[in-house]
Amino acid sequence: MNVTEYGAVFTPASTMPLRFDADKCIGCNRCVDACQIDVLLPVPEGGKTPIVFWPGECWYCGACVMECPVKGAVTLRHPLMNQAAFIDRSLLKEEKTL
């Protein structure tokens, strides 16, 4: 029987959208199964956090966080641009003019 092995090269990204808490993660890989675009790879050894292999491809959908049975084991951090809060000037009580 011939066995073919495949490899991949990790591609660095400017963001790291997913963060795993190794103390909380039980290694169930539900987040891996829930990811719509396969950003995560399961670790062959059970009980360890998945590998965020393609962080730049994350759609920030939150499916992995919602599927996780342990609260706080995986967190999703949106890019800074998406975290900005915009102020509606019409809601301000009084605007000073010079």
Tell me the domains of the chain and their CATH numbers: 18-91 (3.30.70.20)
> Residue 34's closest CA among 15, 62, 73?
62
Cα gap 29→17, rounded to integer Å: 17
Q: pLDDT value at position 21? A: 95
* pLDDT tens figures, 52-70: 988 888 999 999 999 999 9
Task: Tell me the CA end-to-end span of the chain in Å, nearest whole number.
Answer: 83
Segments of the chain with pLDDT less than 50: none
What pLDDT shows up at residue 94? 62
